[in-house]
Amino acid sequence: MSTVYLIKPLEKKSIVYHVEMYRKNPDDSISWFNIDETYRWGHGFVEGDLDCNLPWEGDTVAYARTDCGWGCEFDDSVSIEWEFSDDITELEQQELKEAYYEGGAGWLYDGEHDWSEEDAAVHIIAPYQVDLCEDDGTVIEENIKLKSRPAASNNWPFPD
């Protein structure tokens, strides 16, 4: 059985679903848009064998994957911020927003459109708690102690 790190915010409105979408246009240019949707509550995961992806102690944001664990979970959307490439018209921007508001993340991945995902992540804003869990949800260790950030060194790539 594999393990995952469950990361959950300790304050409301502190979890963001971030997605970057792109489209290759007929003239070989690239159009893009980004969405940051903030939720009142939720959680995200980091694979148990990739603890190198855990935040350092004191980091203000923890980054989790959208496709790990038993699925990131979000509850009660409170705001959505959009960013568009300059070539996307106001009309197309409005159409994209309406499609997302009607279909949510399901529209991004299953909708009929020319957009592809460039990147997606869950941003969990401090304070947050990290628990080590079995992939079935059983908590192995609650509120694990995160590692301290190592001191900066000029010996890269060789540690002291």
Whole-number average pLDDT of the chain: 93
Q: What is the pLDDT of residue 160?
A: 58
Q: What is the pLDDT of residue 153?
A: 73
Q: What is the pLDDT of residue 158?
A: 66
- The string of pLDDT tens digits covering residues 77-135 is 999 999 999 999 999 999 999 999 999 989 999 989 999 999 999 999 999 999 999 98
Burial class, 110, CB count within 10 angstroms (exposed 0-12 / middle 13-18 / buried 19+) = exposed
Question: 32 vs 137, which has greater pLDDT?
Answer: 32
